Amino acid sequence: MWKFFHQWASPPHFYRLAKVLIPWLAVPGLLLIAYGTYAGLFLASPDYQQGDAFRIIYVHVPSAYLSMMAYVFMAVGGGIGLIWRLKLAHAVGAAAAPLGAAFTFLALLTGSIWGRPMWGTWWEWGDPRLTSELILLFLYFGYMALRSSIDDTAKADKASAVLALVGVINVVIVHFSVVWWSSLHQGQTLFKKGGPGMDADMLYPLLAMILGFTFVFGALLARRLRTEVLYRERRTRWVRELVLTPGGGR
Amino acid sequence: MSDSSQQQPGILAGLLAVTRRDLLLAWKRPGDVLNPLFFFAMVCTLFPLAVGPSPEQLTVSGPGVLWVAALLATLLSLNALFMGDHEDGSLDQLLVSPQPLPVLALGKTLSHWLISGFPLVLISPLLAMTYRMSTDVMGVLMLTLLLGTICLSLLGSIGAALTVGLHRGTALLSLLILPLAMPVLLLGANTVSLAAGNEVYATGIWALGAYVIAALSLAPFATAAALRISNE
Amino acid sequence: MDALAMGNYGAYVWSCFALTLIVIVFSDWRARVRHNQVYRDIEVRIKALEEQE
């Protein structure tokens, strides 16, 4: 098992495997998103309070979910990299950070646009979800800034892994403290504790979107990881052979 | 073998030695202690000048302003935490010392708090008075600042250890530490506000206390790991 | 047409979906560009070394 895992995680093998993997993640992901978009926009019945504005949930919630999942990827990758010295795990952190930041930004944008018709303002500090998402965006900025200011890749990997691990504890503390804080100020949330209480015609498109976003995230991450692996292994023999092969291994 | 281990000073002695050394250094350069305090006082002065001296506004915003100013003042002093030791090579000595590095890191953090955090707590009533804070609320302010600055020093030591020896250290350090420090600020400032509004504020104190305990038990290890990585 | 108007929330709903599309397409495009860039840099360096020998 351990041997199999090491072989799988070996850079040349991963580089080839990821290329095969990308379409298998991207195509189902895009199909799920296409279904979720159609069903969410046209089939689901409007919310009894928010009317058609609630349909923003179909892009807001999946991106908010991915923004946190990408952070977990960074922290788990960093942890594995520190403990078992697996280089590929550190590369996951490096590849996941910009994607996580992009989806955090998207969650903030869609949340803000959703808030405009619902609250009459583009930004509502009292909403715990938006506020903790904003702090999450700053955490991503810090992680990327630390990474880019250390030239030595191995050192940057380890330092940013420590930061990601400290940050993941912080994300939990941020969540609880912001919820406490907004309860003091009678915060307004965009949606009530919905979840399984939603009607099926509202819920299924949401689940399809979340799953589809996850697949697409996987494809994007695999693509960035290939670049990361190629760059880190640029002085090795397998990359040299790859590049010198006619047709190449792009 | 057994002889040399007996001669070695205990863990507490190592911690105190590091702390005492830093306190002595600070005593010889009082600017290190005074600059953050002046900074704290000045930020607190900026606010009434910017928004006007109306007493109602100052009472409402006082806790928040004092807390933000304390956070910024702590941040200002963090850069120096490992900088001097890194430059004169004594940090390398700490790294090769037989004492456990987390304990030494805790010693450095403790001295940082005694030099920058604790004096802030002591002068905070003076500034709180200018914001027309009542004596009871001042007590809560001092208690939250006491707990909060410990948290900030501990968190800050991780950031300072990660950025020691980097060129763009100061700006980067703020970028790393501010998002981590936001929950502390939120708990501290809102607890004081609750006390000022005669509401139940115990939750905030307990939460800050829990934060101190968690940070005390985890941060020294993260700082030690970061120091080793930065000095490879 | 009624379905597109989204009960007067059309501008908000559609701009959110458009932004999502932009972010996903942009992320993929950036990743492709960077991959090709890194690949080309390595290719140029290795081929230059090869010719020296």
ipTM value for the complex: 0.89
Q: How far apart are the first and last CA of chain C?
A: 68
CB distance C23–A99 less than 8 Å?
no
Pairs of CB atoms within 8 A across A/C: 98
Average model confidence (pLDDT) for chain C? 87
Among the listed residues A76, A147, A82, A73, the one whose alpha carbon sits nearest the alpha carbon of residue B162: A147
Q: SS3 of B55, please?
A: helix
In the beta sheet, which residues pair with residue A51?
A: A47
Q: Which residues of C touch A220 (CB under 8 A)?
A: 24, 27-28, 31
Nearest residue, CB atoms, C27 vs list A58, A102, A231: A102
Q: Is C21 on the interface with A (CB under 8 A)?
A: no
pLDDT score of B2: 46
CA B106 to CA B217: how far, in whole Å?
10
Nearest residue of chain A to residue B191 (CA atoms): A181
Average pLDDT over residues B37-66: 89
CB distance A109–C19 less than 8 Å?
yes
Q: Which residues of A touch B230 (CB under 8 A)?
A: 155, 159
Q: Is B213 exposed, middle or buried (0-12, 13-18, 19+ CB in 10 A)?
A: exposed
Q: Which residues of A touch C4 (CB under 8 A)?
A: none
Please say if the pLDDT value at position B1 is more than 50. no
A189 in the Ramachandran plot: left (φ > 0), alpha (ψ -120 to 50) or beta? beta
Q: SS3 of B131, please?
A: coil
Of residues A198 and B86, more confidently modeled:
B86
Show Cβ contacts of residue B23 under 8 Å, excluding neighbours closer than 6 positions: B111, B114, B115
pLDDT score of B32: 79
Q: Is C34 on the interface with A (CB under 8 A)?
A: yes
Mind telling me how many Å the CA of A2 is from chain C's nearest CA?
30
Please say if the pLDDT value at position B95 is more than 80. yes
CB distance B230–A167 less than 8 Å?
no
Q: Which tokens belong to A208?
A: 């399809």
Average model confidence (pLDDT) for chain B? 88
Please compute Rg for chain C using Cα positions.
22
Q: Is C39 on the interface with A (CB under 8 A)?
A: yes
CB distance B222–A178 less than 8 Å?
no
Residue C28 is assigned to a structural domain of this protein:
yes
For testing contact with chain B, the best of A177, A179, A181, A185 (most B CBs within 10 A)? A177
Residue C17 is assigned to a structural domain of this protein:
no
Q: Is A160 on the interface with C (CB under 8 A)?
A: no
For testing contact with chain A, the best of B144, B158, B182 (most A CBs within 10 A)? B182
pLDDT score of B12: 84
Residue B41 is assigned to a structural domain of this protein:
yes
Q: What is the largest CA-CA distance in chain A?
A: 66
pLDDT score of A73: 93
Nearest residue, CB atoms, A55 vs list C13, C23, C28: C13
Nearest residue of chain C to residue A115 (CA atoms): C12
Residue C30 is assigned to a structural domain of this protein:
yes
A29 in the Ramachandran plot: left (φ > 0), alpha (ψ -120 to 50) or beta? alpha
CB atoms within 10 A of CB A210: 17
Nearest residue, CB atoms, C16 vs list A59, A99, A230: A59
CB distance A223–C17 less than 8 Å?
no
**DSSP designation for B49:** H
CB distance C42–A46 less than 8 Å?
no
pTM here is 0.90
Q: Which residues of B touch A170 (CB under 8 A)?
A: 179-180, 183
Of residues A192 and B209, more confidently modeled:
B209
CB distance A220–C27 less than 8 Å?
yes
pLDDT per residue rounded down to tens, chain A (250 residues) = 666 666 667 888 888 888 899 999 999 999 999 999 998 888 887 777 777 888 888 999 999 999 999 999 999 999 999 998 888 899 999 999 999 999 999 999 999 998 888 888 888 887 888 888 999 999 999 999 999 999 889 999 999 999 999 999 888 888 888 888 887 776 555 555 444 456 778 888 999 999 999 999 999 999 999 999 999 998 888 888 888 887 767 7
pLDDT score of A214: 95
Mind telling me how many Å the CA of A78 is from chain B's nearest CA?
13
CA B169 to CA B163: how far, in whole Å?
6
| Contacts of C among chains (3+ CB pairs under 8 A) | A
List pLDDT tens digits, range B9-42. 788 888 888 888 888 888 888 887 888 899 999 9
Range of the domain at C46: 22-53
Q: Is B162 on the interface with A (CB under 8 A)?
A: yes
Nearest residue, CB atoms, A163 vs list B162, B203, B232: B162
pLDDT score of A5: 66
Residue C10 is assigned to a structural domain of this protein:
no
Q: Which tokens belong to A93?
A: 């952190």
Mind telling me how many Å the CA of A100 is from chain C's nearest CA?
11
Residue C34 is assigned to a structural domain of this protein:
yes
Counted domains in chain C: 1
CA C13 to CA A116: how far, in whole Å?
11
Mind telling me how many Å the CA of A80 is from chain C's nearest CA?
24
Secondary structure of chain A as H, E, C letters: CHHHHHHHCCHHHHHHHHHHHHHHHHHHHHHHHHHHHHHHHHHCCCECCCEHHHHHHHHHHHHHHHHHHHHHHHHHHHHHHHHHCCHHHHHHHHHHHHHHHHHHHHHHHHHHHHHHHHHCCCCCCCCHHHHHHHHHHHHHHHHHHHHHHCCCHHHHHHHHHHHHHHHHHHHHHHHHHHHHHHHHCCCCCCCCCCHHHCCHHHHHHHHHHHHHHHHHHHHHHHHHHHHHHHHHCCCCHHHHHHHHCCCCCC
Residue C31 is assigned to a structural domain of this protein:
yes
- Touching status, chains C and A (3+ beta-carbon pairs under 8 Å): yes
Among the listed residues B172, B212, B164, B156, the one whose alpha carbon sits nearest the alpha carbon of residue B188: B212
pLDDT score of B90: 85
CB distance A230–C39 less than 8 Å?
yes
Mind telling me how many Å the CA of B72 is from chain A's nearest CA?
17
Please compute Rg for chain B using Cα positions.
19
Residue B4 is assigned to a structural domain of this protein:
no
CA B24 to CA B156: how far, in whole Å?
21
Nearest residue, CB atoms, A243 vs list C12, C35, C42: C42
Counted domains in chain B: 1
Please say if the pLDDT value at position C53 is more than 80. no
